[in-house]
Amino acid sequence: MTPLRIAVIGSGYWGRKVIREILEIGRSTGQIELHSVVDSSPASLAQCQQEFGSGIDYRLDYQDLVQDPSLSGVHIASPNGTHFDIASRFLRAGKNILVEKPLTLKTVESYELVRLAAENKCVLSVGHIHRFNNGVRELRRVIAEGEIGEPYYVDFRWTGFMNPQLQREVITDLAPHPFDICNYALDAWPEKISCKGRGYRTKQNEEVAFITGEHKGGLMAHIEVSWLDRDKRREVAIVGSNGMAFLDCMSQKLFVEDSSGRREIPVLPSNTIASEIIHFADCIRNSRDSTTYSNHSDGMLGARVVSLLEASRESMFQDRTIPVQLPIMPEIPVRQ
Ligand SMILES: NC(=O)c1ccc[n+]([C@@H]2O[C@H](COP(=O)([O-])OP(=O)(O)OC[C@H]3O[C@@H](n4cnc5c(N)ncnc54)[C@H](O)[C@@H]3O)[C@@H](O)[C@H]2O)c1
C-alpha cells in the first residue's frame, strides 16, 4: 500500500503532538508519511528540528503545498483564527484536510468549508478528538443500553490553569469538546443555550464560563470551562433516572453508580490523536476508492459545534437565552 503523505500546518503545542503521532504511525504501519511541517514562526520550526531532526521538509509558508500533487492530506493545527483561510485554500485545490477544533470561528465559515469540501470532493475532518476516546465510546454505549435509565442532566467540568491569554477566549478554546461529547453520548443537540462568562485577569477575553444547554424533553447540559481553576479536569457526569455515569476523559476511567453501588466499567484506553489521524487516512483512502465510508468527525459536525459556541457567546453578550439554529447539510453532488 502506498503511504499517504500528510503535511502538518502549525507546529506549536498541539502540532508537535500531531507530528509525533504521524511519525510513529508511519514507522509502525507504513500507511502514512509526514510530507512536511509548516509554521510561520522560525522559532517554532527550530524547536521541531531539535525534536524531530533535520530530515524533514520544514517550511515557513504553505503556499507551494496547495498545488503539490504528492500531498495526500493536510492536518491544520494553526491558531483558530487562521483555520478558515488555510482550510478554504486547500479545499479549493481539491486537498483533503483535517482541521483542529474549532473548525472555524464563525458558523458561516464552517458551512462554507463543508460546501467547498462537497464541491471539490475532498475529505473534511474536524479535530473532535473525543470521538476516538474509548471512555467516551463506552459512555455512549452505557447510556444507549439504559444502564442509568433516562438521562436527566449532564455536567461537564473542563478546567485547567492557563496564563492570561490576549488572543484567545475560553469558550471557543475549551467548549468544543464538551459540546461534541454531549452530542456523541446522547445523540442530541441543545435547542436553547444560556451562558455567563467573565475575564478576571484579562477583562476583554473570557477566562471562565458557565454554559447551559436545554434539550428536547427537558434534558439539561451544564458546561463549566475555566482557565482560572488550578485543577486540570476533563470530566463528565450524566445523571439519569436509575443511576449516574461518571467519566474522566483524560484517564478514560468510567464508573456507573446505581442502587446496587458503584462499579467501574472496563475501558481499554485509546490513543486518541493516533486514532483520529488513522481515521482521517482511512477516510482519504476510501473516498478515493469511492467506497461508502462514514467520517466519524466530519465538517458538518464541526459546523454544528461552532454554531453552539457562537450561541453561547451571543447569550453571554446579550444576557439572554438564545435559541439554537443548527446548520443543515448542503446538497452534496453525487460522486462520478
Ligand atoms: N484537539 C485538542 O484537544 C486540541 C488541544 C490543543 C489545541 N488544539 C488546537 O490546535 C490548534 C493550535 O493550538 P496550539 O495550542 O498548538 O497553539 P500554538 O500557539 O502553540 O501553535 C500554533 C502554531 O501555529 C503557527 N502559525 C500561526 N499562524 C500560522 C500560519 N498562518 N501558517 C502556519 N503556521 C502558523 C504558530 O507560529 C504556532 O507555532 C488550535 O486550533 C487549537 O484549538 C486542539
Find out whether the beta carbon of 80 lies less than 6 Å from any atom of ligand 1: yes
Q: What is the pLDDT of residue 336?
A: 47
pLDDT for 1 equals 79
Question: Mean pLDDT across the stretch 9-15?
Answer: 98
Q: Which residue from 14, 86, 130, 179 has its CB within 8 A of the most atoms of ligand 1, so it is best to mutate?
A: 14
- Write out pLDDT tens, residues 86-137: 999 999 999 999 999 999 999 999 999 999 999 999 999 999 999 999 999 9
Q: Across all residues in the chain, what is the average pLDDT?
A: 95
User: How big is the CA angle at 289 (ends 303 and 109), to the nearest 5 degrees?
Assistant: 15
Q: Is the pLDDT of residue 284 over 90?
A: yes
Q: What is the DSSP letter of 298?
A: B
The response to whether residue 81 sits with its C-beta less than 6 Å from ligand 1 reads: no
Pairing of strands 253-258, 261-265: antiparallel
Is the CB of 275 inside a 6 Å radius of any atom of ligand 1? no
Decide: helix, strand or coil at residue 140. helix
Does the model's pTM come out above 0.75? yes
Say how far apart CA 147 and CA 256 lie, in whole Å.
8
What CA–CA distance (Å, rounded) separates 242 from 180? 24
Work out whether strand 253-258 and strand 243-248 pair parallel, antiparallel, or are unpaired: antiparallel
CA distance 68 to 49: 23
C-beta 309 within 6 A of ligand 1? no
Nearest residue (by CA) to ligand 1, atom 38, is: 12
pLDDT of res. 251: 98
**Hey, which of 51, 100, 129 would you mutate to test ligand 1's pocket, going by the most ligand atoms within 8 Å of its Cβ?**
100
Distance from C-alpha of 103 to C-alpha of 83, rounded to nearest angstrom: 7
Residue nearest to atom 39 of ligand 1 (CA): 12
Per CATH, the architecture of 4-130+272-297 is what? 3-Layer(aba) Sandwich (3.40)
C-alpha cell at 95: 486537498
Nearest to 312, CA basis, from 199, 233, 234, 225: 225
Going by their DSSP bridges, the two strands 322-323 and 124-127 should be labelled as unpaired
Dist. CA 211–CA 298, nearest whole Å: 24
The pLDDT value recorded for residue 43 is 98
Q: What is the pLDDT of residue 19?
A: 98
Q: Please, are residues 77 and 12 in contact by the beta-carbon 8 Å criterion?
A: yes
Contact 76, 87 (CB under 8 A): yes
Q: Is the pLDDT of residue 333 over 60?
A: no
Query: Taking Cα atoms as reference points, which of 124, 139, 179, 140 lies closest to residue 310?
Result: 179
Give the residue range(s) of CATH 3.40.50.720 domains in the chain. Answer: 4-130+272-297
Q: Which fold has domain 134-265?
A: Dihydrodipicolinate Reductase; domain 2 (3.30.360)
CA of 82 to the centre of ligand 1 (A): 9
Q: Is the CB of 302 under 6 A from ligand 1?
A: no
**Where, residue-wise, is CATH 3.30.360.10 in the chain?**
134-265
In order of 17, 194, 297, the CA distances from 24 in angstroms are 11, 42, 22
Distance (angstroms) between ligand 1 centre and the Cα of 324 equals 28
Q: How far is the CA of 14 from the centre of ligand 1 (A)?
A: 6
Distance CA 145, CA 156 (A): 21
